[in-house]
A and B are shown apart, each in its own frame.
Chain A
């Protein structure tokens, strides 16, 4: 049997998160990811971890992600020079999803940026991209913002229908937060930065904590019988079911936010001002339609279609490619994200995915595959 290999790190020494020894002690299978030695699964396995998160609460170590503060005289307006979102009007206590753009309107990374307090912007970016992201921001916004990377903080995500009750037992004030709120919270004897958000489609919190307290907070949360540790394998299948793109797979420096089906992140005032990188391309794509667009596909027969599988029309002409895909533990069938021309993108379009040379029926569906359960009011 061939061994699925992971060669992304190219043999460089791996970094570790503050929870590394806790993962090993829990029996995790570790793999290289974003330059870190990370848990891909714990002994129960991806399928059970996935379903546990959908039914109870899953705890994820996402400390490989890049956390930073951007400070300056006017950090919100400065930040708008590298992203297409409306940050000038971002209210205190709120965060926004956005994309860091290159000058051609391609996506350098996707990110969360918020205002937990009056101390500039709190930004969380993808682990594999963080060094480049902060260099791009530093280059583009030199003299306007200073970047403090929060290397001494870990990041946990607690996700699932029971996550709120679990976390609120330790941090009662988190009960008044709604989806995309971000706040400083004192809990576990620590100063946390907490957002009500995540990458699974479930309700839950992302919790930034001092690295020195990470193991204690991790273990305290895990001592609740509703909580189990969840590895990167289930994190990927959960985000795929939630229809959320994965940078480096569904998004890259060639993909614009319009192509990536992220037009919601380009606010109206910014479209009118056309004052973000690649605005001419992006505004034209908004008006005329892009050449390709990200869609959600259900695979109706056969094997799951994975990244790299070609997409054809019903007549067999190749029209696109799967950028991430796999087996949905919740739906018990193959699901995928991929790019096709807009003519083939409407919900209900019949397509084929080519898996190991075999065309299999697939259909464009409305994302998410599994309904989001964000808490929008309390």
Chain B
């Protein structure tokens, strides 16, 4: 699993990357009450806002950690947005993206680097 400074995670299986928000991000948000996932077929550039996650208090954009086409969105979040709090780095995933540029993955942090980064916040 690799991580961004904006607290998204990516896990690659073959040429498809599953993306979501980290445990830290979910905890910062508090209770998630609504998730807007992207349309399948949408083409994303790394850094694009591709999903929205809402707590009682506020809405936050979720940014694409890498470029590629959305091949699947986590439809279960529509009825169970609280999954993002319960399992942010597993069942609370947002979308699967067909990796367009594998080199972008190298620019992301590994878990150790991400945890070190969290300590600076």
A: residues with CB less than 8 A from B are 1-4, 40-41, 45-48, 50, 233-234, 236-237, 303-304, 306, 326-327, 329, 356
Contacts and interface: CB of A to CB of B under 8 A. Distances in A.
A1 B34 contact: no
A47 B34 contact: no
A47 B54 contact: no
Contacts of A303: 34, 36, 52, 54, 59
Contact of B56 (A1, A3, A233, A356): A233
Interface string B43-68: 00000010011111111111100000
Interface size class of B (residues with CB under 8 A): 20 to 34
A373 B34 CA distance: 29
10 contacts: A1-B60, A4-B57, A41-B30, A47-B30, A50-B56, A233-B30, A303-B52, A303-B54, A326-B57, A329-B56
A50 B61 CA distance: 24
B33 A47 contact: yes
Most buried by B among A3, A50, A237: A3
A2 B6 contact: yes
A46 B31 contact: yes
For chain B, what secondary structure do more than half of its interface residues adopt (helix, strand, loop), or is it mixed?
A: strand
Contacts of B60: 1-4
A304 B52 CA distance: 11
Contacts of B53: 1
B32 to A, nearest CB: 9
B30 A327 contact: no
Contact of B54 (A45, A233, A327): A327
A367 to B, nearest CB: 19
Contacts of A306: 58-59
A331 to B, nearest CB: 11
Nearest to B36: A303
B8 interface: yes
A233 B31 CA distance: 12
Contacts of B63: 1-2
A299 to B, nearest CB: 10
Contacts of A50: 56
A236 B57 contact: yes
B8 A327 contact: no
Nearest to B22: A1
Contacts of A233: 30, 56-57
Contacts of A45: 30-31
A167 to B, nearest CB: 27
Contacts of A3: 28, 60
A330 to B, nearest CB: 11
B25 interface: yes
Contacts of B7: 1
Given A1-B6, A1-B7, A40-B57, 6 more contacts: A2-B60, A46-B56, A233-B57, A303-B59, A306-B58, A327-B34
Counting from the closest, the 9 A-B pairs by CB-CB distance are A4-B58, A47-B31, A327-B33, A46-B56, A2-B61, A45-B30, A2-B60, A233-B57, A1-B25
A327 B6 contact: no
B48 to A, nearest CB: 12
A46 B31 CA distance: 7
Nearest to B26: A1
Contacts of B95: none
Contacts of B10: none
Contacts of A47: 30-31, 33, 56
A354 to B, nearest CB: 14
B99 interface: no
Contacts of B33: 47, 304, 327, 329
Contacts of B25: 1
B21 interface: yes
B70 to A, nearest CB: 17
Contacts of B57: 4, 40, 46, 233, 236-237, 326
A201 B35 CA distance: 29
Nearest to B29: A1
A148 to B, nearest CB: 36
Contacts of A356: 36, 52
A326 B59 CA distance: 9
A16 B52 CA distance: 33
A5 B8 CA distance: 18
A259 B25 CA distance: 40
A41 B31 CA distance: 11
